Amino acid sequence: MAQPPPGADGAATPGVLAAAGSGRFELSGDVGFANAARLLDEGDTAFAGLERVEVDLARVARVDSAGLALLLEWSLSSRAAGRTLRYQNIPPAVASLAGISEVAELLAPSSGG
């Protein structure tokens, strides 16, 4: 019997940040209060020393305000480090939360320096 994909049954799937090539990363799963601190640390470590970072959000299943805060913190820390950060495939839920919170401009591509 085939197993359903993770999260297909409505169960939470942990957020994962995975390298996808030179300066490219994929964020997937549920991103929020349960794992934002861990993902922040993982991203800070993974992005260190890079001049350009691209994070694909296409596989993010669920996000809450802590997930939005994670993305904002990555944006701000990238700017402070002089790193260019771009988010690709921003899910509608993230864009909506950012719009309501009036922080959408912080998710726009950042150029370091």
CATH number of 38's domain: 3.30.750.24
In a domain, 23, yes or no: yes
Residue 112's identity, in one-letter code, is G
Confidence class for position 6, pLDDT limits 50, 70, 90: very low
In a domain, 113, yes or no: no
pLDDT of residue 108: 79
In a domain, 8, yes or no: no
Mean of the pLDDT values across residues 96-104?
85
In a domain, 5, yes or no: no
Collect contacts of 19-22 with beta carbons under 8 A, ≥24 apart. Answer: 19/46, 20/56
pLDDT of residue 1: 43
In a domain, 82, yes or no: yes
Mean of the pLDDT values across residues 50-54?
97
Q: Using alpha carbons, list the distances in angstroms from residue 63 to 22, 83, 84, 98.
A: 26, 25, 23, 11
Instruction: Output the pTM of the full model.
Output: 0.85
pLDDT of residue 3: 40
In a domain, 10, yes or no: no
Q: Which domain holds residue 37?
A: 17-107
Neighbours of 20 (CB within 10 A): 12
Q: Is the pLDDT of residue 5 over 50?
A: no
The total of structural domains in the chain comes to: 1
In a domain, 6, yes or no: no
In a domain, 11, yes or no: no
At 69-87, the pLDDT tens digits run: 999 999 999 999 999 999 9
